[in-house]
Structure formats: C-alpha cells, structure tokens
Amino acid sequence: MTPLPHGIRSRIVPGINGLAMHVLEAGYETAKRPCVLLLHGFPELAYSWRKVMLPLAAAGFHVVAPDQRGYGRTTGWDGDYDGDVGSFRMLSVARDALALVRALGYESVAAVIGHDFGSPVAAWCALVRPDVFRSVVLMSAPFAGPPQIARSSEPGPARTIHDDLAALPRPRKHYQWYYSTREANQNMWHCPQGVHAFLRAYYHHKSADWKDNRPYPLASWTASELAKLPTYYIMDKDKGMAETVAPEMPSADAIARCEWLPEAELKVYADEYGRNGFQGGLNWYRCTTGPKYIAELQIFSGRTIDVRSAFISGKSDWGIYQVPGAIERMQQSACTKMVGFHLIEGAGHWVQQEQPEQVARHLLEFLSG
C-alpha cells in the first residue's frame, strides 16, 4: 500500500466474527473519543475513505474504516464460489460491524456511514441495533426499507425482468445478477487489459468525468426503463464487465489529469484485487439476488430507521435512481429522522473520493447536529 496520509494508521484487529479485520484509523491518539465507523462498497477498500478521515478526526472523532468481509487485507473469509456464501449475507456483515465496535471497546458509535454496498450495511446496522449505531449516513445507495412479506402464496408470473431485458431489441442483463454468476470473478480478475486498467475504466465510467453520466429518475422497474441506465448497470447480454468498461478507458492525458484518483492511488486497489480477485465482494451480490437470504430479512418488514439519518451522493451518480422509487421511499417512510439530503456537483458514484471536501463538510454538519 502507498504511504497513508500522516495521521492515518493501518492495523489488524483479530477475532471479528471469525475475521482478522484490517482497519484504517484516524484520531486514535486520544482515548474516549466518540467513534465514527466508515463502511466501503464495491470494488472499494477501507482506503476509499482516506480523504475524509482526517477532517473527521480533526473534529474530535475516532474514525475507523475496515476492509469489510471479502476485501483487501481482512482475512478469514471464504473466497470460493462454492464456499460459505451465507457468511456474506446482510445480517452477517452487519454483525461484523457490531463485533468490530465491541472489539474497539465501544458500547456505541456516534455514526455509521456507508457508501455503495456499505450503505445498506450501515442502514441495517441502524435499523437492527439503534442502541449501538446512534446515527447513520447513507451514501450513493438509497435504503428503501426491509423487504416486504408477500401477501399471497400464489406463485408469481413465470416471466421475469431478466426475460424482458433479454428480449429487448438490444438484449441486456442486470449487472447484479451478472455479478452473481460464476464467470464474473474470472472475467474481471483475468481480463486481457489487466486489473489496473480494468479498474481505471470502471472507476472512470461511473464518475463525473464520464460526461454521459446525467442521471434522472426512472418511471418503473421495467426493461424499457432500466435499459436507459448506462451499461455498467444494464449490460449488453453478451458481454462481461471487463468488455463493458474497456471502450470507456480514458486517454493517457485524462488519466494524468485525474486528481481524485492518480495512478499511484489506483495501484492500491489494483494490487489488492490483483491478489485477492473479486469473489469476496461478488458474494455480497449473490446474497441479495436470490430469495434465500432475502427471506430472513422479511422478519423486519415494516421496521424503520428511527435514528438521525442523512443521504449524500454525487449529482452525476446513476446509482441513486437504479431502483425506481427507492429514493422517495427512503425519505418518506424508511428513515423517519432524515435531516439531510445532499447531491454534490462534480461527483459521480465515488463521491467521497471525487469531492472529499464537500463530503467532509456535510458529514461534520451532520455529526455536529
């Protein structure tokens, strides 16, 4: 890993729900500071929070960002496609967060903050254990509430959204279900362009630097509406993710001008994913695209997040609209004390890396409230 900014340290915390968890910390020098827990998404790392950790620490917080289960330098997880997939389900990774808080000696944290796939983990932490996770900030991925219990035992229609996507004049498929396939890890890990170039194109494609990221709400969860999403979400049916993002590789000049993710920092991600592959993170998707692990979450049907909450995203992030209606349900029913909703100019999906000063400002305003 490249040298961390002065004031951020790296260490391993053992005994975390079967994991030896790698964490980055800032504001650790003094005891009894209120803790803020930062949860990354895919394909990210604890390192994704490097630009906002020091401002939070300077405001008096002990800031902790782990490599979550399946990622980076955290060990003890099963990376086999045919292995223990259930250990990556939502309640298990939320339990990882709870175990880390306890291992650090805290009874509660001032806030849990999650980005991308870390956002639903943070949401479930706040929903299930509000006594521990006393406020929550969701970033880039809205939380629409727990899955509802089906009202009828009648079987649903045989035709699915996937059939409809495949039947479009330009046949398509949904990235989350692609990420759940056996082939996805090999496609990205052993792609012809190499992991570094794959990640450069992937990060660029979902950032504000890709000028066609001009999102707007979709009308419904139908194939014709979903097909309006960029190909990193609704892929061409005959392509893997490596082939999907390759044509969007920025020029050498554009890479040299990319201040939010210079080559030396991208190398941190490329080295970790080059070593581990992507299957650990992909297993999270497998737990959300099949019915088995969704069913256990239905016991929380109707429960709301009742601690203070806020939402932050890039204004150029299609992720806020990828599930039609989710952003409205989050604000109107799922989160009963949402005190902030911020769409940041000049940022796409990687908001805390693309515009860290604005993200840190919003987080500090929330935490001071």
Residue 123 identity (one-letter amino acid)? A
Residue 176 identity (one-letter amino acid)? Q
pLDDT in tens, 304-332: 999 999 999 999 999 999 999 999 999 99
User: Could you tell me the domains of the chain?
Assistant: 8-144+295-368 (3.40.50.1820), 161-281 (no CATH)
41: left (phi over 0), alpha (psi -120 to 50) or beta: beta
pLDDT in tens, 18-53: 999 999 999 999 999 999 999 999 999 999 999 999
In this structure, what is the dihedral angle of CA atoms 38, 214, 347, 351, given to the nearest 10 degrees?
A: 10
pLDDT in tens, 159-192: 899 999 999 999 999 999 999 999 999 999 999 9
CA distance 36 to 56: 8
pLDDT band (50, 70, 90) for residue 2: low
Beta bridge partners of 354: none
pLDDT in tens, 73-127: 999 999 999 999 999 999 999 999 999 999 999 999 999 999 999 999 999 999 9
pLDDT band (50, 70, 90) for residue 150: confident
CA distance 142 to 330: 6
- With b for 16 or more beta-carbon neighbours within 10 A and e for fewer, the 56-93 pattern comes to bbebebbbbbbbbbbbbbbeebbbebeeebebbbbbbb
pLDDT band (50, 70, 90) for residue 204: very high
Q: What is the mean pLDDT of residues 123-137?
A: 98
* pLDDT tops 90 at residue 156: no
Q: How far is CA 351 from CA 193, 203, 313, in A?
A: 26, 11, 6
